[in-house]
Amino acid sequence: MTIRQSAVVFAWILLIPALLYVLVIVAYPLADTINLSFTNASLRRTYDWIGFDNYRNIFKRGFSEVILRTLVWTFFSVGLKMVIGTFGAVMLNAAVPGRTMFRVLTMPPWIVPMAIGIFMWGWMYNGQFGMISGLLQRFGVIDGPMPFLAFGTSAFWATIVTDVWIGVPMVTIYLLAAIQSIPRDLYEAAWADGAGRFYRFRRITLPLIVPALITMSIISLISTFNSFDIIWILTQGGPSGKTTTMIIDTYRTAIGSYKFGEGAARAVLICIFLSVFCFAYFRLISRFSGATMR
């Protein structure tokens, strides 16, 4: 064996743990799910290969509506998280007294166990006992109890607000780190040239945190697209399916109705959507890196 060959073999040996990890944790479950999506697997102990039937059936019962709703839900949730997170990061970067305390105060939604946070929001949305309805009544905005989870539109937005509340701290802290990595002299030079706060933000901060914004957007997008707990605990996809997203629909099919084949087909579809997002992310990142290099 030549030195070059033994180097290659050695490299592969070093890669074995990582390859095994990927095979066991990612590749095998994914391949098994794809395989399952072409079967009629259910509670029965045996199942048959049924080709693309599951994929054809998906679109028979209003699944297009579910896809659209998922995209809208994800768009608004991620959008709000990014806007509020960016604003929060800029504010927390400001040299104000007690800055550390403010930074610590952004953490609770992230630190509190998710289910507890969601239940808390569930109570706040309650019409009879909830804080939001109570305050709105006290200030005369509404004239009676308003159960926010009772109506399609308000339930849809209520779940988004909860998701944003839980997701914003992570975005804020990540973007704060990105802002802190921007060289101070850029701001000092701009300040010396008479640039105002907003101008400095628009022309220095924002362009330099774009890679962080893109990365955070895609991470947030994947987790939001797959967000299950918030909707399930608050509304279980109701009322009238108005908060049913793809992940809720998949759970209901695979675990609720024990239609593992149909559920797997839905899961594969989610995987395809997320792959498209990831592909777009890498394109954006490479384009941005290229632009920066030039």
In the complex, least distance from residue 203 CB atom to another protein, rounded to whole angstroms: 48
**Of residues 94, 88, 101, 115, the one with CA closest to residue 171:** 88
C-beta atoms surrounding 9 within 10 Å: 11
In the complex, least distance from residue 95 CB atom to another protein, rounded to whole angstroms: 45
Distance (Å, whole) CA 254 – CA 251: 5
φ, ψ of residue 141 in degrees (nearest 5): -75, -40
Binding mask 222-251 for another protein (x = CB under 8 A): -------------xxxxxxx----------
Could you write out the DSSP letters of every residue in 105-170? Answer: HT-HHHHS-HHHHHHHHHHHH-TTT-HHHHHHHHTTS-SS---TTSSHHHHHHHHHHHHHHHHHHH
Asked if 134 touches another protein (CB under 8 A), the answer is no
Asked if 259 touches another protein (CB under 8 A), the answer is yes
Applying CB under 8 A, the site for another protein has a residue count of 31
Instruction: Please report, as residue ranges, which positions from 138 to 157 form the binding site for another protein (by CB under 8 A).
Output: 144-152
Distance (Å, whole) CA 277 – CA 270: 11
Pick one of 10, 258, 279, 282: the residue that binds another protein (CB under 8 A).
258
φ, ψ of residue 130 in degrees (nearest 5): -75, 145
Asked if 180 touches another protein (CB under 8 A), the answer is no
In the complex, least distance from residue 263 CB atom to another protein, rounded to whole angstroms: 12
Question: Residue 130 or 167: which CB sits closer to another protein?
Answer: 130
In the complex, least distance from residue 122 CB atom to another protein, rounded to whole angstroms: 10
Rg (CA), the chain: 24
Instruction: Please report, as residue ranges, which positions from 39 to 78 form the binding site for another protein (by CB under 8 A).
Output: 42-45, 61
Give the interface with another protein as residue ranges (CB under 8 A). Answer: 42-45, 61, 125-128, 144-152, 235-241, 252, 255-259
